[in-house]
Amino acid sequence: MRLSRFFMPILKENPKEAEIVSHRLMLRTGMIRQQSQGIYSWLPLGKRVLDKVNAIIREEQNRAGAIELSMPTLQSAELWQESGRYEDYGKEMLRIRDRQDRPMLYGPTNEEMITDIFRSSVKSYKSLPLNLYHIQLKFRDEIRPRFGTMRSREFLMKDAYSFDLTQADAIHSYNKMFVAYLRTFDRLGLRAIPMRADTGPIGGNHSHEFIILADTGESEVFCHKSFVDFDIPAVDTDFDSVEGLQAIFDKWTSVYAATSEMHDAAAFDSIGEGERLSARGIEVGHIFYFGTKYSEPMGAKVQGPDGKEHLVHMGSYGIGPTRLVPAIIEASHDENGIIWPASVAPFDAVVINMKAGDQACDSTCERLYAALQNAGKDVLYDDTDDRAGTKFATADLIGVPVQVIAGPRAVAAGEVELKDRKTGARETLTIEAAINKLTA
Ligand code: 5CA
């Protein structure tokens, strides 16, 4: 992408309305734009990051055996009347009437709709286990939308829903998602801690929130320090192994971790002084096992091996991609701007032409740009006629992991400079060597 043709409306000044660093940086870099309270557009730079976050979520959901579909944002009120949640959900639910005056709603979550899809076609235990997910917009009319897309009214959610014949099978499905979440957050460059959690309007009694620690987080959390050293389940984890997954779950829940709603002060105080961590955190995922809470009122049953009808045991599993993007920024930035983990960076590298219009600089940059693109890299080429200082500041601000700097003196010697955004380390390489290094 040539910067001269890209759409990246960078703000010169820090936006006043932004209280936390991620919100400030997302507005300054032109990743997002507020359209009305708690409702945002994702501009091209932000969309690139969001897409990469979604791709990682999708890969790990698929690896764990979940299957993607897509459900609509607008739902009929009837389904919610069946489960009893139409009244219960309260003012967070945006209720709408269509031209026939039928009550509709903008879905805040999809337990009812997925249960309806399930009951309409699954009749036998032989189709189980089944886990269906989508990545779709949700709407919750939050009392206090704030911090940009961290807590917005319209937001993206990956929501998965599992169906099993028995409670034991459902716990295995729960553990699959638990492990998939550990892997997902790790690949996003985050250390997320699973914590026993309250279930709120989703229901059930077995639930974990995945929290990343950040001073600006909205949740108050209490946990043991040892989480920092726990191993992330490997890529070849056998998701069909009931014992294997249970062992991972047991390990990750063996030490104390709870949000304020579930906090047990006595248990926490029994942890040694230096081992305790009382902090703030951001909830980036939440998983629930709620048994037959929806299958019972909605009549979602399958025929079991005994020939009898059984209500299915269900769970639901949410991740907030539009919250994850600011959460990653909260965890990874410095005074000059964002520092993207390579896995979600909007571009793999930025080629900085320090003297656009200079023939040697132009041709060197064109060569680098073409070579990196041909190798399948996402490259931003700063071909604008801005001053070099402005270009460096922009590159630092938007946080692309590698900067390839082509200035007249180096180029005359057949060289370019590589700068690592995270460490600030610089090295001078021949153009050939730079291409080889970046395409290796
Ligand atoms: N049905 C269940 C799981 S699929 C559910 O709705 N769970 S939830 O309410 O905990 O939401 C799941 C995830 O969505 C949260 O962990 C969070 O990452 C994200 N999320 C929830 N509300 C918001 C919001 N207002 N803004 C941004 N992300 C949100």
Which pairing describes strands 313-319 and 309-311: parallel, antiparallel, or unpaired?
unpaired
* Cβ of residue 138 lying under 6 Å from some atom of ligand 1: no
Structure tokens at 84: 């009893």
Ligand 1 atom 24, closest CA: 151
How far does residue 318's CA lie from ligand 1's centre (Å)?
6
> Maximum CA pair distance of the chain?
81
Task: Look at residues 202, 201, 207, 151 and name the one whose alpha carbon lies nearest to residue 181.
Answer: 207
142, 159, 323, best to mutate for ligand 1 pocket (most atoms within 8 Å of CB): 323
Write down the pLDDT at residue 200. 84
Write down the pLDDT at residue 227. 86
Structure tokens at 376: 């399948």
Task: Look at residues 365, 362, 355, 373 and name the one whose alpha carbon lies nearest to residue 438.
Answer: 373
- For residue 318, count other CB atoms closer than 10 A to its CB: 22
**Contact assessment for residue 351 and residue 406, using Cβ atoms and an 8 Å cutoff:** yes
Give the model confidence (pLDDT) of 10-55 as tens digits.
999 999 989 999 999 999 999 999 999 999 999 999 999 999 999 9
Please return the burial class of 236, using the count of CB atoms within 10 Å of its CB with bins 0-12, 13-18 and 19+.
Answer: exposed
Please return the burial class of 425, using the count of CB atoms within 10 Å of its CB with bins 0-12, 13-18 and 19+.
Answer: exposed
User: What is the DSSP-derived secondary structure letter of residue 229?
Assistant: G
Q: Please spell the DSSP secondary structure of 153-205, one letter per residue.
A: SEEEEEEEEEEESSHHHHHHHHHHHHHHHHHHHHHTT--EEEEE---GGG--S
- What's the Cα-to-Cα distance from 406 to each of 17, 236, 346, rounded to whole Å? 37, 42, 21
How far does residue 272's CA lie from ligand 1's centre (Å)?
33
Inter-axis angle of helices 167-187 and 242-252, to 10 degrees? 60
> Which residues are CB-neighbours of 67 under 8 A, at least 6 positions away?
130, 131, 132, 133
| 376 sits in which H/E element | none
* Cβ of residue 202 lying under 6 Å from some atom of ligand 1: yes
In the chain, the domains with their CATH numbers are 7-71+110-338 (3.30.930.10), 349-439 (3.40.50.800)
Please return the burial class of 35, using the count of CB atoms within 10 Å of its CB with bins 0-12, 13-18 and 19+.
Answer: exposed
Give the model confidence (pLDDT) of 231-277 as tens digits.
999 999 999 999 999 999 999 999 999 999 899 999 999 999 899 99
* Total residues belonging to the chain: 440
* Cβ of residue 151 lying under 6 Å from some atom of ligand 1: yes
* Cβ of residue 109 lying under 6 Å from some atom of ligand 1: yes
Write down the pLDDT at residue 307. 97
Nearest-angstrom CA–CA distance, 392 and 417: 12
Ligand 1 atom 16, closest CA: 285
Write down the pLDDT at residue 201. 84
Residue 110 CA, closest ligand 1 atom number: 1
Nearest-angstrom CA–CA distance, 111 and 375: 43
Nearest-angstrom CA–CA distance, 187 and 60: 10
**Contact assessment for residue 362 and residue 381, using Cβ atoms and an 8 Å cutoff:** no
pLDDT mean for each 10 residues of the chain (440 residues): 98 91 98 97 98 98 98 97 94 96 98 98 98 98 96 98 98 98 97 90 89 91 89 97 97 93 92 92 97 97 98 98 98 97 98 97 98 98 97 98 98 98 98 96
135, 286, 319, best to mutate for ligand 1 pocket (most atoms within 8 Å of CB): 286
* Cβ of residue 316 lying under 6 Å from some atom of ligand 1: yes
Task: Look at residues 169, 159, 174 and name the one whose alpha carbon lies nearest to residue 315.
Answer: 174
* Cβ of residue 284 lying under 6 Å from some atom of ligand 1: yes
Residue 111 CA, closest ligand 1 atom number: 1
* Cβ of residue 190 lying under 6 Å from some atom of ligand 1: no
